[in-house]
Amino acid sequence: RRIALQEAINEINREIISLNPEECLKKITSNIASIIGAEIVCIVLKQNEQLKLTECSCEFIKEKIPSLEDTLVAWSIKTEQTIMIDNVQDSVITNNLHPMCKESNSIICVPLMFDKHAIGAICVESKRPYAFSTTEHELLIAFSGYASVILNNALLHEKIKNQEEQLKWVLEGSNEGFWDWCLNKNSIQFNIRTAQFIECPITELPKTPLQFLKLIHPDDKLLINKAVKDHLRGKTPSIMCDIRIITKSGNIRWLHISGRCVVKNQFPIRIAGTLTDITYRKHIESEREQLIAQLKEALANIKTLSGLIPICANCKKIRDDQGYWNQIESYITEHSNATFTHSICPNCAKILYPELDLSITENTHDNEPK
């Protein structure tokens, strides 16, 4: 009997090792029920400090189960102890606690232990008193240890899978590219958004870092190499840089690359991060820089006169910054946007041209227009 039970338990272990959590739970409950001959097999797991009946060989139990907090299986999880009751009527422990099914007389509750903590329990019940032998009890304890590890790993893998799926949808919704570089295999993976950046089918995305490096503009290759090396050497908390890539169609696209190294056992195993298209932002920045340069050039061409200007009291020449004396008109022309046009005032005309009849202007004042 012991050998047959042991072989059956081992077969269950082999079957559940590659199953997902839901299939794993169903396989455990159905097979244990048939091997031990229990009418009821339940698995209760602790989730966020709350107990939940995750699987049961009897569907009606799920609907009629009382509060789990007052059950024997809850006490087994809380105390991390195994319970074996041959006859509920003769048991003292059942005064304030009840089985999963109120008609049950024989009960075995075995906590599922992982990392020295109870993550749940397996509970087998029968309406018959003395339904389970010591051998079945011992084998169930042995099975629970192996099943705990398999079940916990299955739950962790399912959790990671769900988180990866959520992250994928978040990245797709945010229009971000995603990259994952496995350092051990020297392979790199991208999402479909990155294919849109590069303007290529997803099947033609780079599969190695070297293939991706070939897409980077020659002037930016040293920049990305330095950013990666500095991060791997611990000089920077993350990879952050702006680079240009040359798409399959020959266009230049600006990408902001960010990433962080994943370390295991003090060794980097992968670098993962995001790609953001910043082409439009770079275009706006370039236009702004050109406008600023044009404004600076315009301001530099504006000539103004200010401060003290040394001028000769007699000939009216002006001394420049180099110490040379210049005609007033040449100095003003050089240091402003003013242009001179020459004429002769009436007083100077009489001196320069005495032979001319200037009587027409004799009664006018010098400051009046002629």
Equal fold, 2-165 vs 174-282: yes
Q: Could you tell me the fold of the domain covering 174-282? A: Beta-Lactamase (3.30.450)
User: Could you tell me what percent of the chain has a pLDDT over 70?
Assistant: 84
Query: If we measure between CA atoms, which residue out of 118, 152, 151, 122 comes closest to residue 49?
Result: 118
The pLDDT, as a whole number, for residue 12 is 62
The more confident residue out of 79 and 366 is 79
Are 201 and 195 in contact by the 8 Å Cβ rule? The answer is yes
Highest mean pLDDT among 104-113, 228-237, 339-348: 228-237
Region 244-258: mean pLDDT is: 94
**What's the pLDDT band for 197 if we cut at 50, 70, 90?**
very high
Angstrom distance (rounded) from CA 258 to CA 239: 5
User: How many Cα neighbours within 13 Å face the side chain of 186?
Assistant: 3
Region 210-228: mean pLDDT is: 95
Query: If we measure between CA atoms, which residue out of 276, 36, 28 comes closest to residue 132?
Result: 36
**Beta bridge partners of residue 44, listed in sequence order:** 53, 121
**Residue 368: CB partners within 8 Å, gap ≥ 6?**
none
Domain locations in the chain?
2-165, 174-282
Angstrom distance (rounded) from CA 153 to CA 192: 30
Phi, psi torsion values for 2, nearest 5 degrees:
-65, -45
Residue 68 clears pLDDT 90, i.e. is over it: no
The pLDDT, as a whole number, for residue 246 is 95
Cα 61 to Cα 19, 95, 125, 146, 237, distances in angstroms: 24, 21, 12, 26, 53
**What's the pLDDT band for 304 if we cut at 50, 70, 90?**
low
Q: How many helices (H) and strands (E) does the chain have?
A: 11, 12
Query: If we measure between CA atoms, which residue out of 112, 108, 136, 137 comes closest to residue 123?
Result: 108
Are 144 and 101 in contact by the 8 Å Cβ rule? The answer is no
Superfamily name and number for 2-165: GAF domain (3.30.450.40)
Are 129 and 105 in contact by the 8 Å Cβ rule? The answer is yes
The pLDDT, as a whole number, for residue 255 is 96
**What's the pLDDT band for 113 if we cut at 50, 70, 90?**
confident
User: Is this prediction's pTM over 0.75?
Assistant: no
**What's the pLDDT band for 370 if we cut at 50, 70, 90?**
very low
279-297 pLDDT tens trace: 999 999 999 999 888 888 7
The pLDDT, as a whole number, for residue 204 is 92
